[in-house]
């Protein structure tokens, strides 16, 4: 455009002067339009980056929440299953029946032999009942069995704080009792003891031989150990936290930030956060010194707690305040089966960290671009003014100056085009680090994002070989020869390189996980250099490791039981299986995953078990049955697996070998039949003896003698 303006001067001096003002106006309008377009594109890019980051965070939160819920359910079901098996033990049932016959007062209960035998029964099970203890609860809610003397004869604490759960146990259900207050101290994870301790229970009904519920046995669990540890395994980032709460918004698992809660006065020294912290919105960030205007008990539940306690699952990446007043993103759900809420959160400032960094880079590039555009406009105005002044001199002198100015404008236009092109590349690639390597192997440019990730200044890398500076060592500490480097291959062999399992090294000697792509640059059928695009994936690696650990925890819970456990999808394909089930099929879990459950069963069992499977899918209700495979009697429990909408998406199968129990039942039945036959023979013999005695007495009477035998009717 500038060249056309200057060439016009040669045609006519006066027309050139008249058109000068018009051309400058056009140039000004074009510059303003260019700046407006760049600003709109920058705003759009920033907004898209924020939306993308919020989407990624929401996906990660939901994955952590679902994984934690599945792990918690597996842990609960495992504890309920073990306790239910114990409640069915005939020795325990017999001891409970004896203890129920003892008067309901503390002195008589403590003196009873049945209590001594009960404690002896539970003592070998120390790993399960040792420190936390057990209760045997009578139908009138009185403790008739416990390891501690001071509990005996008193009303059970579950009846006063969680009566609905205890009633469910007396109705025949094995239940989990979420944390409640107990006046019996427990050893905490820190080794300290408290006089009022949060505790939780698993409770199972004890049934007599007539299948009548005669009592409830409970296992006491310290919620600060396995329960809290299982919940806290699932989190993302440094500020991430996953926790459990009840219907009233009260914390049921330990907070990761108990020290912060003590600093702001929400907890006393030595006090645990379980049952002591309510999920209320203080109105501001307490950790930054905010002082609420109303007392804690008058503050409303925060946004998440209000939704969850109403039974609504949800997700929020717009931001809300947690119980410490910190703005967070979160995902939550309400588990009706367990009667608890579960949420996973991360601080908003950490979640949007990449967004803030990207925004700063984009705004910086935008500022540079605007300054270049304005500078170009000013430069054009100056040139125009100089040209106008030159017209007032001689025409010949003007011709010379026009030629000089034309050459100068060409050079400046090329520089401006190069600057605009580099600004465009920076704007489009703001999220990743980018550097270029020339044909001679030396770095010829690197963007600000790359410098920020590597910790170098531009003049420390430009003109240097890049491999010895940032790619010299593998993640395991072994040297990384340049001949094996995919970036080097792009330059020397012209091949595309892409890796996501390597690290780059910062100037300070630290490293970070990267995903990079190296692309060769070709010119005239030869390699003129290469461009490398890389990004920091450390957080993604940490999230993947956390997910693997969570899955390993779930796998450990599955393999800990001696019963066969399988999880099937709606088509009957195996998607999860424990070691016990795999051994019974003489295969490994890996060999069974993906196979159809019914294809590997014997023909005589295939149709019946498939019918039970379809029944659970259609009705959405669990069922149990028994059958025989390879001479082994199995007791099966089929449970529906449902999604958030309540639709059945699969079936969980628990199979227990009850061959020994069936054999014992058969022997007992045979013994009873033999006793009945013997009884009948004995009665017949007694009748014949009476008849014989009567005949002897009759003969003696005919002989005139008295009766020898006295017949008793």
**Domain-embedded: residue 23:** no
Q: How confident is the model at residue 310 (pLDDT cuts 50, 70, 90)?
A: very high
**Distances, alpha carbon 546 to alpha carbons 8, 75, 353, 532, in Å:** 70, 18, 20, 29
**Domain-embedded: residue 665:** no
**Distances, alpha carbon 520 to alpha carbons 176, 454, 531, 651, in Å:** 62, 22, 6, 52
**Domain-embedded: residue 319:** yes
241-263 per-position pLDDT tens digit: 999 999 999 999 999 999 999 99
CATH number at residue 297: 3.30.450
Residue 517's φ and ψ, nearest 5 degrees, are -135, 130
Q: What's the token pair of residue 645? A: 């909408």
Residue 548 has pLDDT above 80, yes or no: no
Same domain, 209 and 108: yes
Same domain, 159 and 100: yes
Same domain, 222 and 296: no
Domain termination residue (choose one: 196, 226, 256): 226
pLDDT the model gives residue 195:
59
CATH number at residue 572: 3.30.450.20
**Distances, alpha carbon 384 to alpha carbons 10, 16, 259, 389, in Å:** 14, 11, 69, 9
Structural domain for 105, as ranges: 88-226
Same domain, 519 and 482: yes
**Domain-embedded: residue 115:** yes
Residue 705 has pLDDT above 80, yes or no: no
Domain termination residue (choose one: 297, 322, 351): 351
Residue 636's φ and ψ, nearest 5 degrees, are -110, 140
Same domain, 176 and 271: no
Q: How confident is the model at residue 5 (pLDDT cuts 50, 70, 90)?
A: very low
Same domain, 523 and 580: no
Tokens 């003698």 belong to: 705
Same domain, 221 and 294: no
Same domain, 211 and 281: no
- Indicate the angle between helix axes 353-391 and 13-87, nearest 10 degrees: 180
Domain termination residue (choose one: 325, 351, 377): 351
Domain total of the chain:
4
Q: What's the token pair of residue 624? A: 């149990």
Q: No. of H helices and E strands in the chain?
A: 23, 19
Q: Using an 8 Å Cβ cutoff, are 329 and 349 in contact?
A: no
Residue by residue, DSSP assigns 425-490 as HHHHTTTSEEEEEETTS-EEEE-HHHHHHHT--HHHHTTS-SHHHHSSB-TTS-B--GGG-HHHHH
**Domain-embedded: residue 713:** no
Same domain, 115 and 214: yes
Same domain, 437 and 323: no
CA distance 411 to 419: 12
Q: Using an 8 Å Cβ cutoff, are 491 and 465 in contact?
A: no
Chain Cα centroid distance, residue 277: 23
Same domain, 98 and 216: yes
CA distance 223 to 253: 7
Q: Is the dihedral of CA 583, 589, 595, 598 positive or negative?
A: positive
CA distance 434 to 529: 14
**Distances, alpha carbon 591 to alpha carbons 256, 376, 531, 551, in Å:** 40, 69, 44, 18
- Mapped onto helix, strand or coil, the DSSP state of residue 225 is helix
Contacts with 346 (C-beta within 8 Å, 6 or more apart), sequence order: 57, 61, 235, 236, 237, 239, 240, 241, 328, 329, 330
598-649 per-position pLDDT tens digit: 888 888 888 888 999 999 999 989 999 888 887 788 888 999 998 888 889 9
pLDDT the model gives residue 16:
56
Q: How confident is the model at residue 11 (pLDDT cuts 50, 70, 90)?
A: low
Cα torsion for 62, 67, 69, 71, to the nearest 10°?
A: -170
Same domain, 527 and 583: no
**Domain-embedded: residue 262:** yes
The count of C-alpha atoms lying within 13 angstroms of the C-alpha of 245, restricted to the half-sphere facing its C-beta, is 32
Q: Is the dihedral of CA 655, 637, 641, 230 positive or negative?
A: negative
Residue by residue, DSSP assigns 70-99 as HHHHHHHHHHHHHHHHHHT-HHHHHHHHHH
**Domain-embedded: residue 637:** yes
Where in 361-490 does DSSP place strands (E)? Answer: 433-438, 443-446
Q: Which residue has the higher pLDDT, 700 or 201?
A: 201
100-138 per-position pLDDT tens digit: 999 989 999 999 999 999 999 988 876 554 445 789 999
Task: Report the 10 Å Cβ neighbour count for 533.
Answer: 18
**Domain-embedded: residue 677:** no
């Amino acid at each position: 455009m500038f060249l056309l303006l200057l060439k016009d001067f040669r045609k006519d001096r006066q027309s050139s002067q008249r058109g000068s003002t018009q051309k400058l106006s056009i140039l000004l309008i074009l510059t303003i339009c260019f700046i407006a377009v760049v600003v709109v594109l920058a705003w759009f890019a920033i907004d898209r980056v924020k939306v993308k980051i919020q989407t990624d965070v929401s996906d990660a939160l939901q994955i952590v929440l679902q994984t934690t819920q599945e792990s918690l359910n597996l842990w609960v079901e495992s504890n309920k299953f073990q306790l239910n098996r114990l409640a069915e033990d005939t020795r325990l049932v017999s001891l409970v029946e004896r203890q129920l016959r003892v008067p309901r007062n503390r002195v008589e209960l403590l003196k009873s032999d049945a209590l001594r035998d009960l404690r002896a029964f539970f003592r070998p099970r120390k790993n399960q009942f040792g420190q936390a203890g057990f209760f045997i609860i009578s139908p009138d809610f009185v403790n008739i069995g416990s390891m501690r003397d001071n509990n005996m004869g008193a009303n059970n604490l579950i009846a006063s704080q969680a009566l609905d759960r205890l009633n469910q146990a007396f109705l025949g259900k094995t239940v989990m009792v979420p944390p409640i207050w107990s006046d019996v101290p427990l050893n905490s994870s820190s080794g300290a003891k408290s006089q009022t301790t949060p505790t939780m229970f698993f409770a199972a009904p004890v049934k007599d031989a007539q299948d009548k519920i005669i009592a409830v046995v409970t296992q006491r669990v310290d919620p600060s150990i396995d329960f809290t540890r299982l919940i806290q395994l699932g989190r993302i980032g440094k500020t991430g936290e996953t926790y459990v709460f009840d219907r009233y918004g009260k914390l049921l698992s330990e907070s990761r930030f108990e020290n912060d809660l003590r600093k702001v006065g929400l907890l006393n020294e030595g006090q645990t956060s379980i049952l002591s912290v309510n999920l209320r919105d203080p109105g501001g960030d307490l950790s930054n010194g905010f002082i609420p205007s109303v007392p804690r008990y008058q503050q409303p539940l925060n946004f998440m707690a209000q939704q969850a306690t109403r039974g609504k699952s949800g997700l929020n990446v717009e931001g809300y305040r947690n119980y410490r007043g910190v703005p967070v993103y979160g995902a939550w759900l309400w588990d009706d089966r367990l009667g608890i809420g579960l949420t996973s959160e991360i601080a908003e400032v950490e979640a949007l960290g990449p967004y803030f960094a990207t925004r700063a880079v984009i705004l910086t590039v935008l500022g540079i671009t605007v300054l270049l555009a304005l500078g170009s406009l000013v430069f054009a105005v100056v040139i125009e003014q100089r040209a106008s002044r030159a017209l007032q001199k001689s025409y010949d002198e003007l011709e010379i100056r026009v030629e000089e100015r034309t050459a100068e404008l060409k050079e400046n236009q090329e520089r401006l085009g190069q600057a605009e092109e580099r600004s465009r590349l920076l704007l489009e690639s703001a999220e990743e680090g980018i550097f270029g390597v020339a044909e001679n192997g030396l770095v010829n440019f690197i963007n600000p994002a790359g410098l920020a990730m590597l910790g170098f200044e531009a003049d420390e890398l430009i003109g240097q070989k890049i491999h010895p500076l940032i790619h010299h060592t593998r993640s395991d500490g072994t040297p990384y020869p340049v001949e094996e480097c995919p970036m080097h291959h792009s330059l020397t062999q012209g091949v595309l390189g892409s890796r996501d399992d390597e690290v780059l090294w910062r100037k300070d000697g630290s490293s970070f996980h990267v995903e990079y792509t190296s692309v060769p640059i070709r010119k005239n059928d030869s390699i003129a250099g290469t461009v490398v695009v890389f990004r920091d994936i450390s957080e993604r690696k940490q999230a993947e490791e956390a997910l693997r650990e969570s899955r390993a925890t779930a796998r450990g819970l599955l393999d800990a039981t001696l019963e066969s456990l399988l999880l099937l999808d709606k088509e009957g394909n195996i998607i999860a299986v424990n070691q016990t089930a795999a051994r019974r099929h003489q295969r490994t879990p890996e060999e069974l995953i993906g196979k159809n459950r019914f294809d590997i069963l014997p023909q005589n069992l295939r149709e019946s078990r498939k019918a039970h499977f379809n029944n659970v899918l259609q009705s959405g209700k669990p069922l149990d049955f028994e059958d025989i495979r390879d001479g082994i009697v199995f007791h099966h429990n089929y449970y529906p697996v449902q999604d958030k909408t309540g639709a059945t998406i699969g079936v969980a199968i628990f199979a227990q070998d009850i061959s020994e129990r069936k054999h014992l039942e058969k022997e007992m039945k045979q013994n009873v039949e033999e006793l009945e036959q013997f009884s009948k023979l004995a009665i017949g013999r007694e009748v014949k003896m009476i008849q014989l005695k009567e005949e002897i007495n009759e003969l003696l009477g005919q002989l005139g003698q008295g009766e020898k035998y006295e017949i008793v009717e």
